[in-house]
Amino acid sequence: MQITVDIPEHYVVHHNAQLMANKLKLCTALFLYQYQQLSRGAACEFAGVDIYTFLAACKQHKIPVINDSPEEIEIELQDLKEITNDHCSG
């Protein structure tokens, strides 16, 4: 699908149009990911970048890539401890 966006020329005059389009796609994907409208994979596809580029952009814009609550993290840690104890004692 193609969407046309009109941008005042004085904002584009010093930029390559394709580079600007790519940046707009990435910024939109970051926004949608941050507000949980897209998954990481969908955001990468939307922006047309690989996961490493997307994660680097998240870091640059201070967007967390782990959205688990402290309680969910605690449960996962407990599960991991149990698995480790079972594996080491058996």
pLDDT, tens digit (0-9, with 9 covering 90-100), for 35-88 = 999 999 999 999 999 999 999 999 999 999 987 778 878 888 888 888 888 767
Confirm whether 70 is domain-assigned.
no
Q: In total, how many domains does the chain have?
A: 1
Q: Which amino acid is at 4?
A: T
Confirm whether 69 is domain-assigned.
no
C-alpha 72/C-alpha 87 separation (Å) is 23
Confirm whether 21 is domain-assigned.
yes
Domain assignment of residue 13, given as a range: 9-64
Confirm whether 57 is domain-assigned.
yes
Confirm whether 23 is domain-assigned.
yes
C-alpha 58/C-alpha 26 separation (Å) is 10
pTM of the model: 0.71
3-state SS assignment for residue 4: coil
In this prediction, residue 89 carries a pLDDT of 64
Phi (first) and psi of residue 41, to 5 degrees: -65, -45
